[in-house]
Chain A
Amino acid sequence: MSQSNTISDEQLNAFVDQQLDQEDRERVLNATVKDQDLAEEVYSLYQMKELVQQAYRQPPEVTKSYNPVRRRSDIFHWAAMLVLFITAAVSSYQWNESGDFAQNTFYDMTAIESGQFAGKRVLLHVDSSDPQRIMTAMQTVEKLMSKRQPEKIEVVANGAGLVMVRQNSPHATRVSSLASRYTNVEFKACGFAMEATRLKEGQPVVLLPEAEKVDAALNEILRRLKEGWVYVKA
């Protein structure tokens, strides 16, 4: 490359991308000093790089970009993917070869009698609208708070489980009762599930006053796991 006395377009690009070795870099640099056109070409390549970086520094947020008409079916696909992804992501912690999360982190509700939740922070994940499963989840909260005394419980509802924390939910009384009796029990609703439901029903989802919206259940779960919380799948 350095034997040639011409500077190719490929070399100019490689120069602005810092892909040349020292010798070729100096050769291009010297050439640009002598040739104004070449210098302008290098400048325009730098300028384009900067423009591209600038143009994608803040890509549009997905939730704001939905076209409700065109995207209605897509968002349900997306919401379903999110549920699947949560499962995959949470499972990945179990596969962690370091063992950091492999033990004492993941439980199903059958484990609550074991007494190992005392003093722990527990995230209870509800992604089903099955009344029996939601009821069992509520009972789990009740049992944990009355007997095992974890430091805190966060019930995260997403996907079909959103029904649990919606206004006029058949579980509203139970949710309200738990939240009022235990200040360290909180209910969270997945913002993506709320958006999917809004598009389906044509009106915004109203949550129970005890429930708080989070951006995405996935983020909440991963955040809590990183903070050392215990994950329980309802």
Chain B
Amino acid sequence: MGKTGAVRSYLEQKWHDLYRMAYAWSHDPQLASDITQEAVSRALKKAGQLHDEHAIGVWVYRILMNCWIDRYKADRHFEPLPETELHGNDSPVDDIEQQDLVTRVRQALSELSFEQRQIIALIDLEGFSYSQVAEILQVPMGTVMSRLCRARRQLKERLKEQSVMGRRSNNVRRIK
């Protein structure tokens, strides 16, 4: 198929997932769309630079992250939207209760730092392995593990505040 064909085919299949990832990072549909398009455009242009077709996912998501960084540097007002705007989104989720849950979870995520949202989304939404995430973020694997750990701890607290999860103690008892 060739590198360009492989990249094009991947992008056609993963367009929605890339947008979803960018949305989970930003909680801004417009910004997510912009960044996704920029990433897709860059990936198509740089297809010849793809060294390993088996690592195409990591390669594309790294481009997506670089696009985010570039936009962030260009305009530092990119911050999670306030709660009212998150509530205002109109995802096609039918059930009101379900929509409420979705809104609460997104709200909890939006209160984390960008690095924390980013790592949770890469692992939970896209299912990347820790080593793949380390490659995407260009950090050591140990950093991925500790960052993820802190992120989930924070998320759990936020979910409790949103009454999505129980308020039982968060301390993990160690095996003696």
Is the Cβ of B102 less than 8 Å from the Cβ of A54? Answer: yes
Q: Which residue of A lies closest to B171 (CB)?
A: A37
**Residues of A in contact with B, size category:** 35 or more
B159 interface contact, C-beta 8 A: yes
Establish whether residues A55 and B105, one from each chain, have CB atoms under 8 Å apart when the complex forms: yes
Encoded as 1 (CB less than 8 Å from any A CB) or 0, chain B from 141 to 153 comes to 0000110110011
**A contact patch SS:** helix
A75 contact set on B, CB distance < 8 A: 30
Cβ of B66 within 8 Å of any chain A Cβ, yes or no, is no
Residues of B within 8 A of A40 (CB): 168
CB–CB B91/A96 < 8 A: no
Q: Mark A48-72, 1 if CB is under 8 A from B, else 0.
A: 1101111110111110111000010
Cβ contacts A to B, 9 pairs, < 8 Å: A5-B176, A14-B145, A48-B124, A51-B159, A56-B24, A61-B91, A88-B45, A95-B4, A96-B4
Which residues of chain A have C-beta atoms less than 8 A from B4's C-beta? 92, 95-97
Q: Is there an interface contact between B5 and A48, defined as CB atoms closer than 8 Å?
A: no
**CB < 8 Å: which of B92, B145, B159 contacts A13?**
B145
Q: Is the CB of B125 within 8 A of A65?
A: no
Q: Complex Cα distance A64/B171, Å?
A: 42
**Contact-residue bracket for chain B:** 35 or more
Interface check B60, CB cutoff 8 A: no
For A143, what are the chain B residues with a Cβ–Cβ distance below 8 Å? Answer: none
Using CB atoms, name the residue of chain A closest to B176: A5
Q: Which residue of A lies closest to B172 (CB)?
A: A41
Is A81's CB within 8 Å of the partner chain B?
A: yes
For A91, give the chain B residue with the smallest CB separation.
Answer: B44
Query: Does B120 lie within 8 Å of A60, measured CB to CB?
Result: no
Q: List the B residue with the shortest CB-CB distance to A6.
A: B174
Contact with A74, one of B12, B30, B145, B149 (Cβ below 8 angstroms): B30
CA distance A28 to B8 in the complex (A): 41
